[in-house]
Amino acid sequence: MNTANVAGKMLTALVLGLCLIVFGVGAQAAPKKLLVVTVTKGFRHSSIPTAEKVLGDLAQKTGDFTVDYVRDDTEMAEKMTAAALANYDGVIFANTTGILPLPDKQAFLDWIKSGKAFIGMHSACDTFHGPNGTVDPYTEMIGSEFKEHHAQAEVDCINQDPKHPADKSLPPSWHLKDEIYLMKNFERSKVHGLLTLDKHPNDKTPGDYPIAWCKEYGKGRVFYTSLGHREDVWDPNTAPSFKRENPKDVSELYQKHILGGIRWALGLEEGNAKP
Ligand SMILES: [Zn+2]
């Protein structure tokens, strides 16, 4: 090997190294881009403006991600085509309901499968029910479907994975009041459990009543929590007109719960997703 050859190889190695440093650091520092979807075609929760504000505040406070909102059909038609979705790293369905007018639902699901993040709160599970009792592909993606709820209830959520980013700030048993969903088309063997109840939220019959979980979807990551009906679950600083029933620490823990779920789904933090 002559000297010129060696010098050439060293130069190549140096340039490659510099590229790795520049792009490596750049990728780490750039915030991820999330779409926050709050379109409803069924029940519309009064907590939606609170949810939008809390997610925007979390984005700003952490610098982990930016949020762009999809609040109506026009914004959905613009920002959720296959081409437009390519600009984002993931999506948050915050209390969506009903059959949403996605420009191309299959392209949306394929986009998640390609390695994007899907985060759902509360009625994200009350979205896209299949016709005549069939299971919609969206339900398979999120991992369950809302069946019914009864009166709001005080429950003790069992922390199923204290090591997971979504659970690491929560106590072993987390007491709160919310509207608690009863699910259908849920298969424990297809998700990684994060929060559950060991008794029915209302009549207290023993059983398994899933509250939050995560799962892989192709190369994508899905995080869902059924909590988030009440304003005082989302926000420790609700308006004076809102009659608080949850102490502030419930909302502070909820924000840590969803932030951990968001960070995990975006691949910013690792956690078990195996069933
Ligand atoms: Zn609700």
Tens of pLDDT along the chain (275 residues) come to: 455 566 666 666 655 555 555 555 544 569 999 999 999 999 999 999 999 999 999 999 999 999 999 999 999 999 999 999 999 999 999 999 999 999 999 999 999 999 999 999 999 999 999 999 899 999 999 999 999 999 999 999 999 999 999 999 999 999 999 999 999 999 999 999 999 999 999 999 999 999 999 999 999 999 999 999 999 999 999 999 999 999 999 999 999 999 999 999 999 999 999 99
The residues placing their C-beta within 5 Å of ligand 1, an ion, are 179, 229
CB 133 within 8 A of CB 91: no
CB 189 within 8 A of CB 275: yes
Determine the distance separating the centroid of ligand 1 and the alpha carbon of 227, expressed in angstroms. Answer: 9
Q: How far apart are CA 256 and CA 170, in angstroms?
A: 8
Determine the distance separating the centroid of ligand 1 and the alpha carbon of 97, expressed in angstroms. Answer: 10
- Cβ burial, residue 243 (10 Å; 0-12/13-18/19+): exposed
Residue 50, CA atoms < 13 Å, CB-side half-sphere: 21
Q: How far apart are CA 62 and CA 201, in angstroms?
A: 34
Q: How far apart are CA 220 and CA 266, in angstroms?
A: 9
pTM score > 0.75 for this model?
A: yes
Determine the distance separating the centroid of ligand 1 and the alpha carbon of 122, expressed in angstroms. Answer: 7
CB 182 within 8 A of CB 266: no
